[in-house]
Amino acid sequence: MGILKDAIREVLTQSAKEQGRDIRFIDSPTRVIETSEQAKYNDIRRVERGYVQGVHKARKEANNGNQ
């Protein structure tokens, strides 16, 4: 654990003991929260099969026309 997390837990534990309370910390893994842009992109990829390949092909065709 990090230094800050350890310090906070220690202070909370001492405070709880002084008040006669028993506290336990649950260590659960962190969750990554998607941004709205990432969620939208992932939704499009799920809906349209081959979305990434289609975008790559379209960009490739667009760049060939500019040469």
> How much is the pLDDT for 53?
76
SS3 (DSSP) at 19: coil
Q: Where are the domains of the chain?
A: 31-67
Mean pLDDT, the chain, rounded, equals: 82
User: What is the per-residue pLDDT for 66?
Assistant: 60
CA dist., res. 64 & res. 60, Å (int): 6
Share of the chain above pLDDT 70, in %: 88
The arithmetic mean of pLDDT across residues 30-41, rounded, is 83
pTM above 0.75, yes or no: no
Collapsing DSSP to helix, strand or coil, 34 comes out as: coil
